[in-house]
Structure 1
Amino acid sequence: MENSSSTERFQPVTSVGSGIGIEVTPDLYCYTIQIVNVIFYGIAGEGNDWVLIDAGMPTSGGKIKEEAEKRFGKNNPPKAIILTHGHFDHIGGIIELLEVWDVPVYAHELELPYLTGKKNYPEPDTTVEGGMVSKMSFAFPHESIDISEYIQPLPIDHTVPFMPNWKWIHTPGHSEGHVSLFRNEDHALIAGDAFVTVKQESLYKVFTQEKEISGPPRYLTPDWEASESSVNILEAMDPAVAITGHGVPVSGEWLKENLTELKNNFKSIAVPDYGKFVKDDQ
């Protein structure tokens, strides 16, 4: 298991929500680290079973472990870590965590090359239309990590290990193997970066966490056609509550109306006017 700049290089960007946790449902707790959310699945309580979804910004392992201990007690590692995808801001703390938690990690099969040291992500697009964070993205690491001894593909039957009644949905576009998680009984959605609830390209909006439906972060999204298809899939599932990789959790009529608006107007809301991943006919 090797460290890389994707887990070691601290990124000096944050938001007013950093360090704040929100209990979205009794068993879903969203905790913000700088500009990204990690999710704790499980009923709070000393010794209760739980699962971690995503692993935060580089060097954030200690903060994640500390928050987990507050919610589930000390010496109580998760049953597993589930990754929506392997970008630096979703795996930044994972090597630190695996050094203290000997637990399996699951991701989509198409994401495994980026998590086993075989393939790097495309470099962020600093030219893309949208705002200052895009221009800063040259500093964001895109290197793969190697957690071969821990990583496993998600089950082909779409179940989610240690998360009964949840299923994973392949929602590519932002990355090849991006997944979202959905629970049919209450229509709870963990969207990853398939869509987000903050304009992630705008430094001001990232800092203030102004609530706004948006497509995946533009500077790290190489396939806009697949991204649009993924939003269509998630909108059709009619989620009642959604936790996204960036921005505040949302629910009810606001979620329904705005997700439908994103689906109906994806090209004008989500797709940038220009950038290296934007086709001429988009």
Structure 2
Amino acid sequence: MNPLRITPAIWQLPFPVGHVHIVRLPDGYALIDTGMPGSAPAVLDALEQLGGRPQDVRQIVLTHSHVDHMGSAADLVEATGARVLAGALDAPVIRGTAAEPEPVHTASERALHEQISAGFSDGDMPPVRHVAVDIELRDGDTLTGWSEPVRVLHVPGHTPGSIALHFTAGNVLFPGDIIATAEGRAILGPFNVAREQAIDSFRRLAALEVETVCVPHGEPLLADASAVLRAATPENDWV
């Protein structure tokens, strides 16, 4: 898998379900999300293509607790020694000390979920391994050790502890699963535990001034992303 360059310091690894992003730090690299269980070899191979070694990974930031985001975190921690950061309210699920809250599906989402779940069954996915969370993140926190200020936003609704990352100098946004893209549009990510809360979080992110949005599902928005977000109608998605 070849990493796709988004900015001079950010690359996307486009997995079929749940993209992983690599970010260059002053003294190494960070990963934003880790993909499905079994994704670690592909992530480490992509890192090698960028000239990095496993021990160069300093941090793994999980935007939320779903399996397509934290599924390879334990394997990558073992390979790299990186610290894991995640939203405080999702940390118990990631650690395995609390159950994953069930999403409330619309009819359209239910059909999509059944299709995706069937694909998981056919793909012989390795079992999920939980992992320790070293740092619990809260709204307004700033990540340390990064090349520019990175502000943490608590954006609940998809999961209780979902977070987004706003690179305030570069105007780059990592929204987690609150925002997806389809055919150049920004849409509400499906499978939310609290849909109205997710819509509110979407609107909060849409109010930011950003040039680039790196979504976990769909194609990134690479130019004038704020205009695309402001034109979105999350209230009408997945009805």
Same fold (TM over 0.5): yes
Q: Which amino acid aligns with 1:89?
A: D
Q: Is the aligned partner of 1:239 residue 2:210?
A: yes
Matched residue, 1:258: 228
User: Residue 153 of structure 1 corresponds to which residue in structure 2?
Assistant: 136
Query: Is the 8 Å Cα contact of residues 37 and 128 (structure 2) preserved in structure 1?
Result: no
Q: Which residue is 1:171 aligned to?
A: 155
Structure 1 unaligned blocks of 5 or more: 1-18, 199-209, 274-282
Compare the two structures and name the one with the higher strand fraction. Answer: 2
Please tell me whether residue 185 in structure 1 is matched to residue 164 in structure 2: no
Q: Distance in 2 between matches of 1:71 and 1:87?
A: 27
Distance 2:154 2:138 in 1: 12
Cα distance in 2, alignment partners of residues 212 and 132 from structure 1: 21
1:115-130 aligned at under 5 Å gives the runs 115-123=94-102, 128-130=107-109
How many correspondences in the alignment?
Answer: 232
Paired residues of 1:41 and 1:50 also in contact (CA < 8 A): yes
Backbone CA RMSD of aligned residues: 2.5
Displacement of 1:126 in angstroms is 6.8
**Deviation (angstroms), 1:57:** 1.5
TM-score, scaled relative to structure 2: 0.86
- Select 1:33's aligned residue among 7, 10, 15: 15
Secondary structure, aligned partner of 1:237: coil
Structure 1 residue 222 displacement after superposition: 1.3
Deviation at 1:112, TM superposition (A): 0.8
TM-aligned CA deviation for residue 74 of structure 1: 2.9
In structure 2, relative to structure 1, the CA distance for the partners of 1:168 and 1:137 (3 Å cut) is same
**Matches of 1:145 and 1:120 in 2, distance apart?**
14
Greater Rg by CA: 1
CA deviations over 1:184-212 (Å, ceiling 9, x no partner): 222111111110113xxxxxxxxxxx443
The DSSP-based 3-state class of the residue aligned with 1:81 is strand
| TM superposition score normalised by structure 1 | 0.74
Aligned residues of 2:206 and 2:230 also touching (Cα < 8 A):
yes
1:89 and 2:68 are equivalent in the alignment: yes
Q: Kindly state the Cα deviation for residue 131 of structure 1 after the two structures are TM-superposed.
A: 7.6
Q: Percent identity?
A: 23
Aligned to 1:70: 49
| TM-superposition CA deviations, 1:147-196 (whole Å, max 9, x none) | 23x53212675111322411111111111111111122221111111101
The alignment partner of 1:232 has SS state of helix
> What letter matches 1:228 in structure 2?
I
Match of 1:212 in 2: 185
Q: 1:224 to 1:98 in 2, by over 3 A?
A: same
Which residue of 1 is the match for residue 179 of structure 2?
Answer: 195
Which amino acid in 1 is paired with 2:39? S
CA distance in 1, matches of 2:197, 2:213: 20
